[in-house]
Amino acid sequence: MDSESYAMARWLLEHPEKSALGAVIVAGVWRILREIWKDVRGKKDETLIETLMRENYELRAELRHGKRDHDHDHEELP
Amino acid sequence: MNTCLGICYRLRHLLWRAPYSIFDLAMSAGFLAMGLHLLLFPDLFSRFDGVYFPMRRVMDQVMWAWIFIGCGGYGLLIVLWPRRPRFILRLLARMAVAFCLLSFALNNLSSYQPPMSGMLYAVLAVFSIWSIVRIRCDG
């Protein structure tokens, strides 16, 4: 390890609170930027599996909704 | 009453199904306990000055205790909340706990020779940073 890297590692260890705060903020900001980037891209890069799963969920929700309506209609019959 | 039941249900789910949130639960509860421990034994930093010197140099023991209690308590509240909190609140909770863990790990590693628990804290700190990076908006 050269002297600069050693000095940097030593500084990081000597100031645990600053190093911790820096690392946590960098990780948090990176995560937020990733989420924003994902929102901007939207469903453009959706994979085949993701498309199939989304459609499956939508169809199941539709079916459940239809079944509920059907049961409701039967309850109203005399 | 409903909130209490919801918290009990959530705790049961975490302990039974053990998703990644079990890490959040364990670390938050751990730091809450550590904060209380620091308040109970106010001369801990001065007695073990060799280990806790970097932390003592920044703030006194009581301040660290309240920081641990605040971060741990907030993390515990977020992980036990019956409904899924907003993304930014969950992210902040993980960041708070990761800050405590990383500070503690670096503090332990900076003393020569580092105590054995330093390695454990270092691994947990890496996982806590990873949990920030992998947190999902819809997860």
For B67-86, write each residue's pLDDT tens digit.
999 999 999 999 998 888 89
C-alpha span between B125 and B102 (Å, rounded): 5
| Total Cβ atoms within 10 A of residue B98 | 27
**Are B80 and B7 within 8 A, CB to CB?**
yes
Cβ pair A31:B91 closer than 8 A? yes
In this model, does residue A72 exceed pLDDT 70?
A: no
pLDDT at B82: 85
Residue of B nearest to A27 (CA): B133
| Chain A residue numbers touching B98 (CB-CB < 8 A) | 20, 23-24, 27
- Which pTM was predicted? 0.73
What sign does the CA torsion over B117, B122, B123, B129 have?
positive
Of B92, B107, B132, the CB nearest to A27: B132
Which residue of B57, B89, B110 is the best one to mutate when testing the A interface, meaning the one whose CB has the most A CBs within 10 A? B110
Q: At CB < 8 Å, which residues of chain A contact B?
A: 12-17, 19-21, 23-25, 27-28, 30-32, 35, 38
pLDDT at B96: 94
Per-residue pLDDT tens for B96-119?
A: 999 999 998 988 888 878 888 889
If you write DSSP's letter for every residue of B27-41 in order, what string do you get? HHHHHHHHHHHHHHS
Calculate the alpha carbon distances from B29 to B34, B75, B121 in Å. Answer: 9, 8, 15
C-alpha span between B127 and B133 (Å, rounded): 10
In this model, does residue A76 exceed pLDDT 60?
A: no
